[in-house]
Protein backbone atom coordinates (compact mmCIF):
# COMPACT_ATOMS: atom_id res chain seq x y z
CA UNK A 1 0.00 0.00 0.00
CA UNK A 2 1.36 3.39 -0.97
CA UNK A 3 0.85 6.75 0.69
CA UNK A 4 -0.54 8.17 -2.56
CA UNK A 5 -2.63 5.27 -3.84
CA UNK A 6 -5.37 6.48 -6.19
CA UNK A 7 -4.06 10.06 -6.27
CA UNK A 8 -3.23 12.11 -9.35
CA UNK A 9 -0.28 14.48 -9.06
CA UNK A 10 1.14 17.18 -11.32
CA UNK A 11 4.81 18.06 -10.90
CA UNK A 12 5.98 21.06 -12.93
CA UNK A 13 9.50 21.35 -14.30
CA UNK A 14 10.08 17.67 -13.60
CA UNK A 15 11.85 16.59 -16.80
CA UNK A 16 15.32 17.57 -15.56
CA UNK A 17 16.86 14.10 -15.00
CA UNK A 18 18.70 14.91 -11.75
CA UNK A 19 16.24 17.55 -10.58
CA UNK A 20 14.06 17.86 -7.51
CA UNK A 21 10.91 17.53 -9.63
CA UNK A 22 11.94 14.24 -11.20
CA UNK A 23 12.95 12.73 -7.86
CA UNK A 24 9.61 13.87 -6.41
CA UNK A 25 7.69 12.43 -9.36
CA UNK A 26 9.54 9.12 -8.96
CA UNK A 27 8.82 8.88 -5.22
CA UNK A 28 5.16 9.79 -5.79
CA UNK A 29 4.87 7.07 -8.44
CA UNK A 30 6.52 4.55 -6.09
CA UNK A 31 3.88 5.48 -3.52
CA UNK A 32 1.04 4.72 -5.91
CA UNK A 33 0.30 8.10 -7.51
CA UNK A 34 -0.41 8.63 -11.17
CA UNK A 35 2.00 11.42 -12.09
CA UNK A 36 1.84 14.12 -14.73
CA UNK A 37 5.22 15.65 -15.51
CA UNK A 38 5.23 19.03 -17.19
CA UNK A 39 8.19 20.94 -18.60
CA UNK A 40 9.18 23.24 -21.46
CA UNK A 41 10.02 20.45 -23.91
CA UNK A 42 7.36 17.85 -24.75
CA UNK A 43 9.77 15.05 -25.70
CA UNK A 44 11.72 15.48 -22.47
CA UNK A 45 8.55 15.54 -20.38
CA UNK A 46 7.28 12.41 -22.11
CA UNK A 47 10.61 10.64 -21.62
CA UNK A 48 10.65 11.54 -17.93
CA UNK A 49 7.08 10.25 -17.47
CA UNK A 50 7.93 7.01 -19.31
CA UNK A 51 10.88 6.55 -16.94
CA UNK A 52 8.67 6.49 -13.82
CA UNK A 53 7.77 3.23 -12.09
CA UNK A 54 4.29 1.91 -12.86
CA UNK A 55 2.00 2.82 -15.72
CA UNK A 56 -0.45 5.54 -16.73
CA UNK A 57 1.85 8.51 -16.16
CA UNK A 58 1.82 11.42 -18.58
CA UNK A 59 4.35 13.94 -19.86
CA UNK A 60 2.98 17.29 -21.03
CA UNK A 61 4.45 20.50 -22.34
CA UNK A 62 3.60 23.40 -20.08
CA UNK A 63 5.37 26.72 -19.74
CA UNK A 64 4.22 27.84 -16.29
CA UNK A 65 4.55 31.50 -17.29
CA UNK A 66 1.84 31.04 -19.92
CA UNK A 67 -1.58 31.19 -18.29
CA UNK A 68 -3.37 29.47 -21.18
CA UNK A 69 -0.80 26.67 -21.15
CA UNK A 70 -1.39 26.12 -17.42
CA UNK A 71 -5.16 25.95 -17.96
CA UNK A 72 -4.61 23.50 -20.83
CA UNK A 73 -2.49 21.23 -18.59
CA UNK A 74 -5.16 21.20 -15.88
CA UNK A 75 -7.92 20.50 -18.42
CA UNK A 76 -5.94 17.65 -19.98
CA UNK A 77 -5.36 16.08 -16.56
CA UNK A 78 -9.04 16.35 -15.62
CA UNK A 79 -10.10 14.97 -19.01
CA UNK A 80 -7.68 12.05 -18.63
CA UNK A 81 -7.93 11.15 -14.93
CA UNK A 82 -11.02 12.98 -13.66
CA UNK A 83 -9.23 14.59 -10.70
CA UNK A 84 -6.17 16.52 -9.52
CA UNK A 85 -5.11 15.71 -5.96
CA UNK A 86 -1.60 17.15 -5.81
CA UNK A 87 0.26 19.99 -7.49
CA UNK A 88 3.98 20.46 -6.93
CA UNK A 89 5.07 23.87 -8.20
CA UNK A 90 8.67 22.91 -8.82
CA UNK A 91 9.59 24.70 -12.06
CA UNK A 92 12.19 27.34 -11.32
CA UNK A 93 15.22 29.13 -12.64
CA UNK A 94 18.01 31.03 -10.93
CA UNK A 95 20.78 33.45 -11.88
CA UNK A 96 23.91 34.27 -9.83
CA UNK A 97 23.73 38.06 -10.18
CA UNK A 98 24.73 40.85 -7.83
CA UNK A 99 22.11 43.44 -6.93
CA UNK A 100 23.30 46.15 -9.33
CA UNK A 101 23.62 43.72 -12.24
CA UNK A 102 19.95 42.71 -12.25
CA UNK A 103 18.41 44.07 -15.43
CA UNK A 104 14.73 44.16 -16.41
CA UNK A 105 15.05 40.91 -18.37
CA UNK A 106 16.70 39.13 -15.44
CA UNK A 107 13.99 40.34 -13.10
CA UNK A 108 11.20 39.29 -15.45
CA UNK A 109 12.65 35.85 -16.13
CA UNK A 110 13.32 34.91 -12.52
CA UNK A 111 10.16 36.42 -11.03
CA UNK A 112 8.01 35.02 -13.81
CA UNK A 113 9.04 31.37 -13.68
CA UNK A 114 9.32 31.09 -9.90
CA UNK A 115 6.45 33.27 -8.73
CA UNK A 116 4.03 33.98 -11.58
CA UNK A 117 4.31 30.33 -12.62
CA UNK A 118 3.37 29.17 -9.12
CA UNK A 119 0.34 31.44 -9.15
CA UNK A 120 -0.82 30.43 -12.64
CA UNK A 121 -0.48 26.67 -12.13
CA UNK A 122 -2.21 26.91 -8.76
CA UNK A 123 -5.06 28.92 -10.26
CA UNK A 124 -5.38 26.27 -12.96
CA UNK A 125 -5.86 23.35 -10.52
CA UNK A 126 -7.76 25.06 -7.70
CA UNK A 127 -11.26 24.77 -9.25
CA UNK A 128 -10.87 20.98 -9.48
CA UNK A 129 -9.47 20.72 -5.95
CA UNK A 130 -12.23 22.90 -4.55
CA UNK A 131 -14.87 20.82 -6.29
CA UNK A 132 -13.31 17.64 -4.81
CA UNK A 133 -13.05 19.31 -1.40
CA UNK A 134 -9.48 18.03 -1.17
CA UNK A 135 -6.08 18.82 -2.55
CA UNK A 136 -2.48 19.54 -1.66
CA UNK A 137 -0.29 22.19 -3.26
CA UNK A 138 3.45 22.03 -2.55
CA UNK A 139 5.60 24.97 -3.60
CA UNK A 140 9.39 24.93 -4.00
CA UNK A 141 10.72 27.99 -2.26
CA UNK A 142 14.34 28.13 -1.09
CA UNK A 143 16.54 28.85 1.90
CA UNK A 144 17.55 31.86 -0.22
CA UNK A 145 14.13 33.34 0.58
CA UNK A 146 14.74 33.04 4.31
CA UNK A 147 18.35 34.13 4.57
CA UNK A 148 18.64 36.52 1.63
CA UNK A 149 20.54 34.32 -0.77
CA UNK A 150 24.10 33.47 0.04
CA UNK A 151 24.22 30.27 -1.96
CA UNK A 152 23.90 30.84 -5.68
CA UNK A 153 20.86 32.85 -6.73
CA UNK A 154 20.88 36.64 -6.79
CA UNK A 155 18.60 39.01 -4.87
CA UNK A 156 15.88 38.70 -7.52
CA UNK A 157 15.83 34.93 -6.88
CA UNK A 158 15.59 35.51 -3.12
CA UNK A 159 12.74 37.94 -3.74
CA UNK A 160 10.91 35.52 -6.04
CA UNK A 161 11.24 32.65 -3.57
CA UNK A 162 10.18 34.90 -0.67
CA UNK A 163 7.18 35.79 -2.83
CA UNK A 164 6.46 32.08 -3.15
CA UNK A 165 6.35 31.83 0.66
CA UNK A 166 3.86 34.68 0.91
CA UNK A 167 1.73 33.23 -1.85
CA UNK A 168 1.85 29.78 -0.21
CA UNK A 169 0.56 31.17 3.09
CA UNK A 170 -2.12 33.37 1.56
CA UNK A 171 -3.36 30.45 -0.54
CA UNK A 172 -3.40 28.25 2.56
CA UNK A 173 -5.67 30.72 4.34
CA UNK A 174 -8.04 31.11 1.41
CA UNK A 175 -8.22 27.44 0.43
CA UNK A 176 -8.43 25.86 3.89
CA UNK A 177 -12.26 25.99 4.10
CA UNK A 178 -12.35 23.74 1.04
CA UNK A 179 -9.84 21.29 2.55
CA UNK A 180 -7.17 22.32 0.06
CA UNK A 181 -3.74 22.65 1.68
CA UNK A 182 -0.82 24.79 0.54
CA UNK A 183 2.70 24.36 1.90
CA UNK A 184 6.22 25.31 0.90
CA UNK A 185 9.55 23.54 0.99
CA UNK A 186 12.73 25.53 1.52
CA UNK A 187 15.58 23.41 0.20
CA UNK A 188 19.11 24.41 1.06
CA UNK A 189 22.00 23.49 -1.20
CA UNK A 190 20.96 20.48 -3.29
CA UNK A 191 23.17 19.02 -6.00
CA UNK A 192 21.15 19.31 -9.25
CA UNK A 193 21.64 20.77 -12.73
CA UNK A 194 20.33 24.18 -11.64
CA UNK A 195 23.88 25.03 -10.48
CA UNK A 196 25.77 22.34 -12.42
CA UNK A 197 29.00 23.67 -13.88
CA UNK A 198 28.24 27.18 -12.62
CA UNK A 199 29.59 26.83 -9.08
CA UNK A 200 33.35 27.28 -8.55
CA UNK A 201 35.20 24.91 -6.21
CA UNK A 202 35.73 27.82 -3.87
CA UNK A 203 32.01 28.71 -3.78
CA UNK A 204 31.14 25.07 -3.23
CA UNK A 205 33.59 24.71 -0.32
CA UNK A 206 32.22 27.89 1.24
CA UNK A 207 28.64 26.64 0.98
CA UNK A 208 29.52 23.22 2.45
CA UNK A 209 31.34 24.87 5.36
CA UNK A 210 28.04 26.50 6.32
CA UNK A 211 26.09 23.24 6.47
CA UNK A 212 26.21 21.54 9.90
CA UNK A 213 25.45 18.15 8.32
CA UNK A 214 28.52 18.66 6.15
CA UNK A 215 27.05 17.60 2.84
CA UNK A 216 24.91 18.89 0.03
CA UNK A 217 21.34 17.66 0.05
CA UNK A 218 20.09 15.17 -2.49
CA UNK A 219 17.03 15.41 -4.69
CA UNK A 220 15.64 12.48 -2.70
CA UNK A 221 15.95 14.47 0.53
CA UNK A 222 13.59 17.05 -0.95
CA UNK A 223 11.29 14.45 -2.52
CA UNK A 224 10.70 12.86 0.90
CA UNK A 225 9.49 16.16 2.28
CA UNK A 226 7.26 16.73 -0.76
CA UNK A 227 5.74 13.27 -0.22
CA UNK A 228 4.92 14.08 3.38
CA UNK A 229 3.28 17.40 2.50
CA UNK A 230 1.40 15.93 -0.46
CA UNK A 231 0.09 12.93 1.47
CA UNK A 232 -2.61 12.59 4.12
CA UNK A 233 0.17 12.28 6.73
CA UNK A 234 0.22 16.09 6.55
CA UNK A 235 -3.59 16.39 6.70
CA UNK A 236 -3.50 19.17 9.33
CA UNK A 237 -0.47 21.03 7.90
CA UNK A 238 -1.19 24.09 5.84
CA UNK A 239 0.66 27.36 5.35
CA UNK A 240 3.89 25.80 6.59
CA UNK A 241 7.42 26.24 5.27
CA UNK A 242 9.52 23.15 5.82
CA UNK A 243 13.30 23.42 5.80
CA UNK A 244 15.32 20.75 4.00
CA UNK A 245 18.75 22.25 4.45
CA UNK A 246 21.03 20.05 6.58
CA UNK A 247 20.92 22.65 9.33
CA UNK A 248 22.32 25.47 7.19
CA UNK A 249 19.56 27.71 8.53
CA UNK A 250 18.20 26.89 11.97
CA UNK A 251 15.64 29.38 13.22
N1 LIG B 1 18.96 22.71 -6.38
C2 LIG B 1 18.90 23.51 -5.32
O3 LIG B 1 19.89 23.66 -4.58
C4 LIG B 1 17.64 24.25 -4.99
C5 LIG B 1 17.59 24.90 -3.75
C6 LIG B 1 16.42 25.58 -3.40
C7 LIG B 1 15.35 25.61 -4.27
N8 LIG B 1 15.42 24.97 -5.48
C9 LIG B 1 14.24 25.06 -6.33
O10 LIG B 1 13.78 23.75 -6.64
C11 LIG B 1 13.16 23.73 -7.93
C12 LIG B 1 13.80 22.65 -8.80
O13 LIG B 1 15.17 22.97 -8.96
P14 LIG B 1 16.22 21.95 -9.59
O15 LIG B 1 17.47 22.18 -8.81
O16 LIG B 1 15.64 20.59 -9.68
O17 LIG B 1 16.42 22.62 -11.02
P18 LIG B 1 16.57 22.01 -12.50
O19 LIG B 1 17.18 23.10 -13.31
O20 LIG B 1 17.26 20.69 -12.46
O21 LIG B 1 15.06 21.79 -12.94
C22 LIG B 1 14.18 22.84 -13.18
C23 LIG B 1 13.23 22.45 -14.27
O24 LIG B 1 12.30 23.52 -14.48
C25 LIG B 1 12.06 23.60 -15.87
N26 LIG B 1 11.54 24.92 -16.22
C27 LIG B 1 12.24 26.09 -16.31
N28 LIG B 1 11.43 27.09 -16.70
C29 LIG B 1 10.19 26.54 -16.86
C30 LIG B 1 8.93 27.05 -17.26
N31 LIG B 1 8.79 28.35 -17.59
N32 LIG B 1 7.87 26.21 -17.31
C33 LIG B 1 8.02 24.90 -16.99
N34 LIG B 1 9.19 24.35 -16.63
C35 LIG B 1 10.26 25.16 -16.56
C36 LIG B 1 13.41 23.31 -16.51
O37 LIG B 1 13.28 22.95 -17.88
C38 LIG B 1 13.92 22.19 -15.61
O39 LIG B 1 13.53 20.92 -16.10
C40 LIG B 1 13.33 25.15 -8.48
O41 LIG B 1 12.15 25.88 -8.21
C42 LIG B 1 14.49 25.69 -7.68
O43 LIG B 1 14.47 27.10 -7.63
C44 LIG B 1 16.54 24.29 -5.85
Write the pLDDT tens digit of every residue in 114-124: 999 999 999 99
CA of 1 relative to ligand 1 center, distance in Å? 30
| Fold that domain 8-243 belongs to in CATH | Rossmann fold (3.40.50)
CA of 177 relative to ligand 1 center, distance in Å? 31
pLDDT confidence of residue 122? 99
119-178 per-position pLDDT tens digit: 999 999 999 999 999 999 999 999 999 999 978 899 999 999 999 999 999 999 999 999
pLDDT confidence of residue 94? 97
Contact 154, 162 (CB under 8 A): no
3-state secondary structure the chain: CCCCCCCEEEEECCCCCCCHHHHHHHHHHHCCCEEEEEECCHHHHHHHHHCCCCCCCEEEECCCCCHHHHHHHHHHHHHHHCCCCEEEECCCCCCCCCHHHCCHHHHHHHHHHHHHHHHHHHHHHHHHHHHHCCEEEEEECCHHHHHCCCCCCCHHHHHHHHHHHHHHHHHHHHHHHHCEEEEEEEECCECCCCCCCCCCHHHHHHHHHCCCCCCCECHHHHHHHHHHHHCHHHCCCCCCEEEECCCCCCC
pLDDT confidence of residue 34? 98
pLDDT confidence of residue 151? 83
The band of 185, judged by pLDDT with boundaries at 50, 70 and 90, is very high
Cα 170 to its chain centre, rounded Å, is: 17
pLDDT confidence of residue 210? 93
pLDDT confidence of residue 66? 98
196-248 per-position pLDDT tens digit: 788 888 888 988 999 999 999 999 999 999 999 999 999 999 999 999 999 99
User: Domain residue spans in the chain?
Assistant: 8-243
Residues with CB under 6 A from ligand 1: 12-13, 15-16, 19-21, 39-40, 62-65, 90-94, 113, 117, 140, 142, 187, 189-190, 192-194
pLDDT confidence of residue 239? 99
| Separation of alpha carbons 112 and 94, rounded Å | 11
Q: Exposure of 91 by Cβ count < 10 A (0-12 exposed, 13-18 middle, 19+ buried)?
A: buried
7-66 per-position pLDDT tens digit: 999 999 999 999 999 999 999 999 999 999 999 999 999 999 999 999 999 999 999 999
Site to substitute for ligand 1 among 192, 196, 208, 225, most atoms within 8 A of C-beta: 192
pTM of the complete model beyond 0.85: yes
pLDDT confidence of residue 111? 98
pLDDT confidence of residue 68? 98
Contact 168, 241 (CB under 8 A): yes
Q: 3-class SS at 183? A: strand
| Separation of alpha carbons 126 and 137, rounded Å | 9
Span 98-123, mean pLDDT? 98
Amino acid sequence: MGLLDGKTAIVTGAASPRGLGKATARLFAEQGATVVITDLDLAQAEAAAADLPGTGHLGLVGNVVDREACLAVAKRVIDTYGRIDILVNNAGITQPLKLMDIGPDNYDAVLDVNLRGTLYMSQAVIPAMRAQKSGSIVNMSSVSAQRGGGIFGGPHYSAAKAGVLGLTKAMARELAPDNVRSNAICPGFIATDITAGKLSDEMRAQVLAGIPMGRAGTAEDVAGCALFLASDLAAYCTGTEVDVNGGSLIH
